[in-house]
Amino acid sequence: MTTISALGALLCVAATFAFGQDVGEVVPEAGETVMVGLHRRLRSPETHAVLTDFIAHTHSRETHPIVLVDEDSRLVSEVKLQNADLVEYFGQVTVGGQLFTVVYDTGSGILWVPGGDCHDEACQTHNRLAIDDHVTAEDGDVVIQYGTGSIVGQRAVANVQVGNVEVAQQDFLMSTQENGPVFAQGQFDGVFGMGRKALARLLVKRGDVDSRADPFYISAIKQGKLHKPEFSFYVSNTENEPGAMVLGGVNPNLMLGSVAWHTGCSDSFWMMEIESLTAGSVTVDTSDAAGGGFSSLRGIADTGTSLLVMPEQFIGDLLPSLNVEDDCSNIDELVDFTIAMRAKDGTLQQYLLTPDDYVIARGGYCKTGIAIMDIALPGHHPTAILGDVFLRSYYSVYNHERNEVGFARANHAHNEDIPTLIEDDLPEMQAEQVRLSKVGLAKVDEITNED
């Protein structure tokens, strides 16, 4: 087992140096960490029902379709989920001095907001970016095709600010068309990508210098705006308590104990090796020891996905002991679920989720927050998504320079004063129906870039 784990770590290191061309940049140690509020809004009863029905469907279907994903794309859900509000956490950003509500998403690579020249219904019902002296729009269209709609936009450049971190001349996408009901129904204005650099390739044009289309946090690092070349997320587990995104490091008050670091395996996603899954006393080895780690399971830490998503070949035999009855009657009989990952120091980290952690309970109705989906990224590794069901229990840290992801137990008993949204009508806004164009399990289906 140790030999296979070491091999897996070597494969991840190889991936880092083969594809992570931004590793090794000089990063100035300047400033302090910046904490930004991450606010939670529960789904409406209707969209919550869509989510739970989808989970049930993935558990009961006889065959599981393979979802093909390009590694420079956003992970894609099945069509049934495209109109569901799976995203519960959002924050704010200013673009060219104009305020927008966005999802901070470690599974996407770019920032996009509606543009002032977009006259579709979806744009009319959201904040739109006005072109002025602070915003420069470039010629040429960028097309993002989703399962139930599409976005057409222009690459644009403006100063972008999150908290008190302002990045000069940040590239982003300004939509000019938003086609499909999913966009019109969304309360969030756009998506704030925090994935690795390769996920921003759709904004790259021929002849660009290497620094063009960098995600916001990489631009902030290069411009010396962050204390350290990393950021972190604390995901709240309580409806009226905000979570936080911390730029430039961690907030030790929001976590318990030290951070265990895991070597990254992708230049697109925050991805690491998963060594085994355990439900109660039953363990499934996911390291592919017989194959030398060639087809081992890898997990993606994704703040834009609500659920835990697992391939059927690994979770299928464990699910019966994790599945809660709709009326919550057997919740006391469920077992703990553990995801084991080898840390860079060689220790095997056991990330335990109790039934209270992985069961979604609402209004006397329960559903296990683990969906079955076979996601096929380029290569030969099956993929799991560690979404909010996991991230509510574990504070997550993302180091750009080393391509590493770290976890520590989240501290939900903290007394930290997390900044609130700049909104006078926040309570009313939290109570409204919110649907986002980029939904929790959604990963972009097709991306083209036309100069």
- pLDDT: which is higher, 451 or 299: 299
**What are the two backbone dihedrals, phi and then psi, of residue 53, each rounded to the nearest 5 degrees?**
-65, -40
- Tokens 């060689």 locate to 346
Enumerate the H helices of 43-100 as residue ranges.
45-60
Residue 195 has pLDDT above 50, yes or no: yes
Q: Which residues contact 118 (CB under 8 A, 6 or more apart)?
A: 128, 175, 176, 177, 178
Domain locations in the chain as residue ranges = 2-449
Distance between CA atoms of 175 and 173, rounded to whole angstroms?
Answer: 6
- Local confidence band at 181 (pLDDT 50, 70, 90 cut-offs): low
Half-sphere exposure of 236 (CA within 13 A, CB side): 21
Rounded to an integer, the average pLDDT of 32-49 is 78
Mean local confidence (pLDDT), 224-236: 95
| Bigger pLDDT: 87 vs 89 | 89
d(CA 320, CA 334): 9
For 8-12, 331-335, 433-437, which range has the lowest pLDDT when averaged over its residues? 433-437
**Whole-number pLDDT of residue 276:** 98
Give 374's contacts (C-beta < 8 A, 6+ positions apart): 64, 65, 66, 67, 311, 312, 313, 382
Class of the CATH domain delimited by 2-449: mainly beta
The pLDDT of residue 321: 97
What is the structure's pLDDT at 240? 74
pLDDT exceeds cutoff 80 at 402: yes
In the structure encoding, which two tokens stand for residue 368, read together? 């296990």
**DSSP states of 97-126 as a string?**
TEEEEEEEETT---EEEEBTT--SHHHHTS
Query: Whole-angstrom Cα distance, residue 218 to residue 173?
Result: 17
Helix (H) or strand (E) holding 2: helix 2-19
Query: Is 160 within 8 Å of 192 (Cβ atoms)?
Result: no
Say what percent of the chain tops pLDDT 70. Answer: 76
Q: How far is residue 110's CA from residue 255's CA, in Å, rounded to a whole number?
A: 28
Residue with tokens 């901070």: 104
Alpha helices in 303-435 (DSSP H): 312-315, 355-358, 388-391, 426-431
Say which range, 87-91, 220-224, 409-413, has the weakest mean pLDDT.
87-91
- Give the residue, 10 or 336, on which the prediction is more confident: 336
Q: How confident is the model at residue 144 (pLDDT cuts 50, 70, 90)?
A: confident
Residue 404 — very low, low, confident or very high, per pLDDT cuts 50/70/90? very high
pLDDT (average), residues 32-60: 76
- pLDDT of 325-337, one tens digit each? 999 999 999 999 9
Is the pLDDT higher at 185 or at 260? 260
Distances (CA, A) of 237 to 74, 261, 275: 25, 23, 27
Report phi then psi at 16, rounded to 5: -60, -45
| Residues 171/153, Cβ–Cβ less than 8 Å | no
